A and B are shown apart, each in its own frame.
Chain A
């Protein structure tokens, strides 16, 4: 299903017009004259174009060229045709420490052998062979390269003779095509599991680059140890895929994951993938013409553009929500020897749009800038120390991403990460409050699964202070926020250590221990504040009364469970937010929300 859909993507976007060739970034062009003398080595790389205002250092990107498809190699020596790295193409090592390694000579010999087996009546080919057999010329080339700052071991090299690149010569291209076809002969046709037809299965699957794997790339399908093989089949016979399907699906994967990709017709495509954290990448695509996938990576930094697409009258709302074309998302991690599919999700574009609307609504917690949706990187950063995403629990980023796209319940370990962070920082940030909302909202079963029933009433957790709530943990959270405010009223706002700094952890886990004591201090704070700011003190006293009333004072609960700690944090956050606002202002809740939520009903 996944491979089929990837193959269809390659067909739809016309990624493979000739399976014997591919588009690859080639950094160096070795220019020779007609007699095989070395002229120059050109570096084709240019700094990437970054969006305006970006402070990132631009990466150097080599020029994309259409080259004979590389075969992919493992530990053995196997040369590619016409274009390869320095070891093979020139017999030079990138690292001076390796210079004397006899293996380099073997690699280079393999490259020469392949060139010699090509038709010899091409004069340009002879010129290159002359050059490569001339040690002095090669030495000149090496010095030229060193003067240009050296090269990396995986930089690709190609040749041009008298201004004519070898890869463009038709005789050589034609020979390469026949060569490719001959290779697969000699084995028997088997039913291909992608197209279902009887074809000769590919022996080796092409590789693609992904985080966590070696930089030269890894295949998605591989059987690299005999414990993985079954029914007496060996290697890729275990998953028979014909050469055409294999080329197509791998090309689609490359198109989705590469930062720069150019189709054979010269169309530049943006990647449809997002690195979630560490070695985990989300790869996604849609079957129709929908624009949604190309916007999804903006969830990370610029979610506003996604929201705008969703609610825009011409492209979004009705149009997107009713789109029933397929949408796929793979969570892939790079590993030794192969890419491993951690999760796979399939749905429709309409469902994803619907879920994203829910997501935006659920994270739109009361805060100072409700008009601007919270980006994924801030949400994830709030779950770890100093916002270092490498410290995230491995599944957290994946879980948040998949929840935004596909809905479903969030796990308790997700909740416990947020709660633990609240305790460690003794504060509830807007991002964490948003995540807590998202968690509690994810537990509420969704009624409106189809776009038409969006008008159906849906129970939601309130985004801002809920005065009606009688939920003890929520009230305790509110109480703590009021006590904190009372302390500031009594002792001024530049305290080194407020009572929240001292007690947040204990108050949110074992309120029975802390609150009786806090209530005593509150009396002192009240009388002191009463002298300094009588108006404010009266208001806070009233608020205290209101909350204590709700708690109906059968003592403070001894221990709060994980969920209760989450609700405690929300109560604290909501109450605290109200202090930042003038009393006559109403909560600006509906401002940034999509239109469909006008009929929400609130539960305590």
Chain B
């Protein structure tokens, strides 16, 4: 069971959809990835009962890059310590960012403007009171009013996204090229033995007359699906 197609426009002044191979010194994909677009949609509306599927991505402004360096840090917060503090057993140790510096380069996108064709599917977690029409209307209402659960972003939290309805026009028709394998989404909760190991999945992206057709998640499963569920 899926909804009607929605047309959503996503814009921003800076964006970085990091390629996994260059995610230490970030280099962006040329275009928003389906998973990043899903993140933006979920900021507008998400319930356990629905799952977003991005069907098409249209490029409305030519790709241009921006480069900068930022001071970042090398370590991650320890979950153990955070849990310990939450339980009240001992406080988190102090962390001084200037003692743990890493200067990292970013090749980001500048002035992005995308049109997204998307729909959602009902998930097994939908209850008796949930139906497609209800969520369609919720989404339309929220999109019109600009309501969001949290600030949607373009790849990184510091690059805010502006979301509005899209009339479906304006794709750059003279932009056609292969973009290579692009991140489709992450298969969350894939098991490796008994351990959970999230797995990225990629699809061959092609920009055709300003539009990338995104294969359905089920079709994007790589050749040997058995290996994913050991």
Contact = CB atoms under 8 A, between A and B. Distances in A.
A228 B21 CA distance: 11
Nearest to B74: A225
A342 interface: yes
Contacts of B25: 335, 338, 340-341
Nearest to B196: A232
Interface string A230-241: 111100011111
Interface stretch (B45-53, B86-94, B122-130, B200-208): B200-208
Given A225-B75, A338-B25, A196 B202 contact: yes
A571 B19 CA distance: 47
Interface string B2-29: 0000000000000000001111110100
A228 B202 contact: no
Given A188-B192, A196-B181, A226 B24 contact: no
B222 A191 contact: yes
B186 A228 contact: no
B123 to A, nearest CB: 21
A238 B76 CA distance: 16
Interface in A199-233: 220-233
Interface in A311-344: 335, 338, 340-344
Contacts of A191: 199-202, 222
B1 interface: no
A198 interface: yes
Give chain A's interface secondary structure class. loop
Contacts of A343: 65, 67, 107
A231 B25 CA distance: 17
A3 interface: yes
Given A193-B181, A338-B25, A198 B227 contact: yes
A342 B107 contact: yes
Contacts of B138: none
B21 A3 contact: yes
A189 B224 contact: yes
A344 B201 CA distance: 24
Interface string B199-219: 111111000000000000000
B146 interface: no
Given A227-B102, A342-B105, A197 B222 contact: yes
Contacts of A340: 24-25, 105
A592 interface: no
B74 A227 contact: yes
Contacts of B203: 196
Interface string A273-291: 0000000000000000000
Interface string B41-82: 000000000000000000000000101000011111000000
A353 interface: no
A232 B20 CA distance: 14
Nearest to A194: B181
Contacts, number: 100
A344 B223 CA distance: 31
Contacts of B170: none
Contact of A221 (B22, B72, B222): B22
A341 B198 contact: no
Contacts of A342: 67, 105, 107
A1 B198 CA distance: 23
Contacts of A240: 20, 200
Contact of B102 (A4, A220, A225, A341): A225
Interface in A1-60: 1-4
Given A232-B197, A238-B20, A198 B222 contact: yes
A356 to B, nearest CB: 21
Contacts of B76: 226-227, 229
- Among A1, A237, A338, the most chain B Cβ lie within 10 Å of the Cβ of A1
B179 interface: yes
B168 interface: no
A2 to B, nearest CB: 8
Contacts of A190: 199-200
A4 B23 contact: no
Contacts of B180: 1, 4
A303 B156 CA distance: 42
B73 A227 contact: yes
Given A198-B227, A341-B27, A233 B201 contact: no
Contacts of B23: 223, 228, 230, 238-239
Contacts of B102: 225, 227
Interface of B: 20-25, 27, 30, 65, 67, 72-76, 102, 105, 107, 178-181, 183, 186, 188, 192, 196-204, 222-224, 227, 230
Nearest first, the 7 A-B pairs at minimum CB distance are A1-B180, A340-B25, A225-B74, A239-B20, A239-B21, A231-B198, A191-B222
Given A188-B192, A189-B227, A191-B200, 14 more contacts: A1-B178, A3-B21, A4-B181, A221-B21, A226-B74, A226-B75, A227-B74, A227-B102, A231-B186, A233-B198, A237-B197, A238-B23, A340-B24, A344-B27
20 contacts: A1-B178, A188-B227, A191-B201, A193-B21, A193-B183, A193-B202, A196-B202, A198-B223, A220-B21, A223-B23, A225-B102, A231-B188, A233-B197, A239-B21, A338-B25, A340-B24, A341-B25, A343-B67, A343-B107, A344-B107
